[in-house]
């Protein structure tokens, strides 16, 4: 297995784990989100990490199943990397505060979506 494909599989497992956590314990996930304290350093780290993940996904897609779908995910991840850089810190903090107040059903829904995405990445990589 190529290193980029292995990275994609591990990334998929991490996303799957977070999704299952959201399904199993939505109040704890909300409390965890409420504890996030954004700083300028974390803002840039989040953006650069998303860009790095997008680049790896894009080039790993040629060696994986569903290559076009993985490339679309890579482009969406790159766009998601722009968001922390384009919005103000106050807006980011408001988004996290609102997300921590979501009802349990919404947190379960986001957990199910994350679990499905993680399972898809693992399936495409293995």
Q: Going by C-beta distance under 8 Å and a sequence separation of 6 or more, which residues neighbour residue 117?
A: 12, 15, 19, 73
Global pTM value: 0.87
Token pair of 20 as six digits:
């299952």
Question: How many other CB atoms are found less than 10 A from the CB of residue 111?
Answer: 21
Q: Average pLDDT in the 8-34 region?
A: 89
Number of H helices and number of E strands within the chain? 6, 0
Q: Which residue has the higher pLDDT, 53 or 38?
A: 53
Question: How many other CB atoms are found less than 10 A from the CB of residue 62?
Answer: 12
State the burial class of residue 79 (Cβ atoms within 10 Å of its Cβ: 0-12, 13-18, 19+): exposed
Q: Average pLDDT in the 33-49 region?
A: 85
pLDDT in tens, 55-70: 999 999 999 999 999 9
pLDDT at site 66 = 92
pLDDT at site 10 = 93
pLDDT in tens, 63-122: 999 999 999 999 999 999 998 889 988 888 888 888 878 888 998 999 999 999 999 999
């Amino acid at each position: 297995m190529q290193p980029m494909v292995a990275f994609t599989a591990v990334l998929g497992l991490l996303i799957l784990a977070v999704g299952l956590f959201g399904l199993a314990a939505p109040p704890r996930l909300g409390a965890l989100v409420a504890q996030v304290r954004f700083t300028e350093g974390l803002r840039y780290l989040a953006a650069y990490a998303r860009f790095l993940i997008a680049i790896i996904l894009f080039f790993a897609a040629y060696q994986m199943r569903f290559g076009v779908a993985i490339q679309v995910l890579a482009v969406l991840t790159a766009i998601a990397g722009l968001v922390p850089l384009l919005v103000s810190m106050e807006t980011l903090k408001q988004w996290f505060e609102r997300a921590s107040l979501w009802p349990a059903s919404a947190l379960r829904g986001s957990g199910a979506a994350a679990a499905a995405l993680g399972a898809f990445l693992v399936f495409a990589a293995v």
